[in-house]
Structure 1
Amino acid sequence: MTQSVSRTRPTALAVWFIIAGAIGWWAAFSLTMERLHLLSDPDAILGCNFSPLVQCGKNLTSWQGALFGFPNPILGLTGWVAPIVVGAAILAGARFARWFWLLFLAGVTLAFVFVIWLISQSVFVLGTLCPWCMVTWVVTIPTFYAVLLHVLRTGILPAPRRVRGGADRLTSWIPLLAVVSYAIIAIIAQLRLDVLGSLF
């Protein structure tokens, strides 16, 4: 079963990888440039600072913005290259071994968990909504859903037949799952930060 399903080239998934990777990389690049501006001039006015609520300066200069000892956007600059390369390889006819997909899932899962943590820190601790960070959230969340459901439905990640069937059916609902996730984040941000009140 696993072999026969894995021979089907996941073209839509590959295209999404390239699109998401390009968007995520551009967001990381933009944040990196903003951080460089701050390093050269601590009083610089950043292009991503729109208001005390919608800004990236506070996020970039916080300890959360450099969790591993260097600016978080550097993780994005390197990490988002992977889905672009994987997507292009799939479109070129490449077929990856089971271990590769499992490693790829592990990487995407770590990115998803990191993004959830950053969202919680941004909303509950820093009290800001970083524009370029939100772009990263927007592409990371559905990418995680897409990879997880792919490895489940194809049997790459061992699971009962019913789970594989459910993952197969849910694949077409990934956009809705992403929108629901965005809505949950928006509601939490509204309740915590009164986003609408600050805008109007």
Structure 2
Amino acid sequence: MSTAPRPTARPVGFAILSILLGVVGWFASFELLTEYIKTLQSPSHVPNCNISVLVTCGPNMGSWQGSILGFSNTIIGVSAFVAPIAIGVALLAGARFNAWFWRLYQLGLLGGFVLVCWLQYQSVFVLGTLCPWCMVAWVAMIPLWWSGLAHPYATGAIPLSLRGRRFFRSLNSWIWVIVLVNFFIVAAIAQFQLNWFAEFTRG
């Protein structure tokens, strides 16, 4: 009889979530990139995300905030959202990553989350607009960050003390509550500043 250790269960839920959120974020970034290119080709082009004066992506794409590295932020999104898709697929295939890999991935997620928070601030308080495709990318990035923060510690992929692991297991069980609170805070700030609810209910 074999005495080889029994492999731990694959994190199917986390993997599928990573893939789905990565696809959503990638698609939103791709749509923005496509509209940005069309605008460059034809300045008279009206992007498909220009719904109203408040809900529009034109000012965002044309602002310096939309190209903080000297090129369109959409290129960052199209490139970066591939990572959670690839990691999710690898996990479903049975891949196991070392602690240093998860820390590197978390660093990337943190960078994406900070960028999204900064763009939210710029959209609401500086540009005064809500870009539909940007908001879709935000919806993908926020749960990617919170789930990616807790999962490696909760599962032991990044070693911790017993007390630390228990804390992250508890945190992991509350992830969707944290995500919903994060969404609510963003929506509430946008409502107080821009009164977006009146825009959507105006008939």
Task: Give the TM-score band, short-chain normalised.
Answer: over 0.9
State the partner residue of 1:144. 145
Q: Cα offset for 1:7?
A: 3.8
State the partner residue of 2:193. 192
- What is the root-mean-square deviation of aligned Cα atoms in Å? 1.7
**Structure 2 gap segments, 5+ residues each:** none
State the partner residue of 1:77. 78
Contact 2:57/2:132 (<8 A) preserved: yes
- TM normalised by structure 2 equals 0.91
Structure 1 residues 1-35: Cα deviation after superposition (integer angstroms, max 9, x where no partner): xxx9x944211111111101111110010000110
Structure 1 residues 116-146: Cα deviation after superposition (integer angstroms, max 9, x where no partner): 0110111110001100000011010111111
Find the structure with the greater CA-based Rg.
2
What is the rounded CA distance, in whole Å, between the counterparts of 2:75 and 2:104 in structure 1? 20
**Structure 1 gap segments, 5+ residues each:** none
161-170 or 56-65, which moves further after superposition? 161-170
Residue correspondence of structure 1 range 174-193 to structure 2 within 5 A: 174-193=175-194
Equivalent pairs counted in the alignment come to: 196
SS for the counterpart of 2:48 is: coil
Contact 1:14/1:91 (<8 A) preserved: yes
Structure 1 residues 69-123: Cα deviation after superposition (integer angstroms, max 9, x where no partner): 1100101111111111111011001111111111111111110111001101111
What is the rounded CA distance, in whole Å, between the counterparts of 2:96 and 2:158 in structure 1? 16
Contact 1:102/1:156 (<8 A) preserved: no
Q: What code does the residue aligned with 1:118 have?
A: L
State the partner residue of 1:41. 42
Contact 1:58/1:126 (<8 A) preserved: yes
Q: What code does the residue aligned with 1:142 have?
A: P
- TM normalised by structure 1 equals 0.92
State the partner residue of 2:13. 12
